[in-house]
Copies of this chain bind each other. A is one copy, B any other.
Amino acid sequence: MDGLWYTENWIPGINISLKIKTKLYEEQTPFQFLEVVDTDVWGRALFLDRCIMTTDRDEFIYHEMISHIALNTHPNPERVLVIGGGDGGVIREVVKHDAVKSATLCEIDEAVVRAAKEYFPQIACGLDDPKVEVLFADGVKHIKEHRNYFDVIIVDSTDPVGPAEGLFQKEFYQCVYDALKEDGLFVAQTESPFVYPEIVPGVYHSIESLFPVTREYLAAIPTYPGSMWGFTMGSKKYDPLNVKKEDIPALDTKYYSPDMHFAAFVLPPFVEKLISE
């Protein structure tokens, strides 16, 4: 292990070490420890509290998959809220949709947005779009201030420890429900069913107890622990599986596609079992 290496504790009992060219930035923000490093293999990477958040090499997978399935399920997603997601990657995907008239980013930690604009311009680029408003506020609090307001809410959070803990609880999902219009829908990153089988079912059932349509889907994200990553959609009306493939607009994407819109919902039987128990 010659040279500089960055070691992340993926999960207890598994560490991953990335050879790095240089460390560009670090800051103890009021909320978390933020680092930007240039790695040999994954390109530039953002770490929060020593967990990898995004890398130049694979950020497209997470950002496309958390955004486009929701936005192509809602027939007219005019008003969109993104909770978390301070790197701007989700917003960049959201503004690709012509139907979107306003997109609000509600990020608790302004340091993340600042670092993204400085060090990840190709991820943060959407933040300057005229349709976009950036708020530095607590997402839970912001949600509670709105009723029957948003068409689509995207919860792009860190893991359910630290600042994002409240974003994995039923009380929060109830607030999301209330903040959505009567035909609104939301999606959240909900961890890996392979690595965190103890987290996924509880989150899924919390959402299922509130929303008439609840759907789990997966994407393979190489830099996240276990990589087989789960997203959960809660919808008041529209079902992502009832979208007509021919209605899905052509988008400039590298992981999402009209076929992937449906294939992502095909769960391995062990995941089906996990969320049906």
> Once the chains are docked, how many angstroms separate the CA of A19 from the CA of B5?
19
The answer to whether A195 has its CB under 8 Å from any CB of chain B is yes
CB-CB under 8 A from A14, the residues of chain B are 16-19, 41
Q: Tell me the residues in window 245-277 of chain A with beta carbons closer than 8 Å to chain B beta carbons.
A: 253-257, 259-260, 262-263, 266, 268-270
Stretch from A118-126, A144-152, A220-228 contacting the other chain = A220-228
Q: When the two chains form the complex, which single residue of B39, B260, B262 contacts A13, counting CB atoms closer than 8 Å?
A: B39
Is the CB of A218 closer than 8 A to any CB of chain B? yes
**CA–CA, A195 to B58, complex, Å?**
10
How many copies of this chain does the complex contain?
A: 2
Q: Cβ of A238 < 8 Å from any Cβ of B? A: no
Q: A257, B253: Cβ atoms under 8 Å? A: no
A199 within 8 A of B: no
| Contact A254–B266 (Cβ < 8 Å) | no
State whether A15 touches B1 (Cβ < 8 A): yes
When chains A and B are docked, how far (Å) is the Cα of A255 from the Cα of B19? Answer: 33
Contacting residues, chain B, for A222 (C-beta < 8 A): 192, 194-195, 226-228
Q: How far is the CA of A39 from the CA of B15 in the complex (A)?
A: 13
Chain B, residue nearest A228 (CB):
B220
Can you sample 26 A-B contacts with CB below 8 Å? A5-B15, A7-B17, A12-B19, A13-B18, A13-B39, A13-B40, A13-B41, A14-B16, A14-B18, A61-B268, A195-B222, A220-B220, A220-B227, A220-B228, A222-B226, A222-B228, A226-B227, A227-B228, A254-B268, A255-B268, A257-B266, A257-B268, A259-B266, A260-B266, A260-B268, A263-B266
